[in-house]
A and B are shown apart, each in its own frame.
Chain A
Amino acid sequence: KAGVTQTPRYLIKTRGQQVTLSCSPISGHRSVSWYQQTPGQGLQFLFEYFSETQRNKGNFPGRFSGRQFSNSRSEMNVSTLELGDSALYLCASSAGVHNEQFFGPGTRLTVL
Chain B
Amino acid sequence: QQQVKQSPQSLIVQKGGISIINCAYENTAFDYFPWYQQFPGKGPALLIAIRPDVSEKKEGRFTISFNKSAKQFSLHIMDSQPGDSATYFCAASISNDMRFGAGTRLTVKP
User: Interface segment, B10-18, B21-29, B60-68, B92-100?
Assistant: B92-100
Interface size, B (range): 20 to 34
A33 touches B100 (CB 8 A): no
Closest residue on chain A to residue B46 by CB atoms: A100
B96 touches A98 (CB 8 A): yes
Q: Quick check: is A110 within 8 A (CB to CB) of the other chain?
A: no
**B-side contacts of A104, CB under 8 Å:** 43
Q: Quick check: is B44 within 8 A (CB to CB) of the other chain?
A: yes
Total contacts A-B at CB 8 Å: 59
Q: 8 Å CB contacts to B: which residues of A92-112?
A: 92, 94, 97-98, 100-106
Q: Quick check: is A72 within 8 A (CB to CB) of the other chain?
A: no
Most chain A beta-carbon contacts within 10 A, residue among B32, B44, B99, B103: B44
A97 touches B95 (CB 8 A): yes
Q: Quick check: is A45 within 8 A (CB to CB) of the other chain?
A: yes
Interface string of B29-55 (1 = CB under 8 A from A): 001101010000111111001010000
Interface string of A29-42 (1 = CB under 8 A from B): 00101010000001
CB distance from B7 to the nearest CB of A (A): 13
Q: 8 Å CB contacts to A: which residues of B84-108?
A: 89, 91, 93, 95-103
**A-side contacts of B1, CB under 8 Å:** 59
Q: Give the top 4 A-B pairs by smallest Cβ distance, nearest first.
A: A103-B43, A56-B97, A43-B100, A42-B102
Sample 25 A-B pairs with CB under 8 A, ordered by A number.
A4-B43, A42-B100, A42-B103, A43-B44, A43-B89, A45-B97, A45-B98, A45-B100, A48-B97, A50-B96, A55-B95, A56-B96, A56-B97, A59-B1, A90-B43, A97-B96, A98-B32, A98-B51, A100-B46, A100-B49, A101-B34, A101-B46, A103-B43, A105-B42, A106-B43
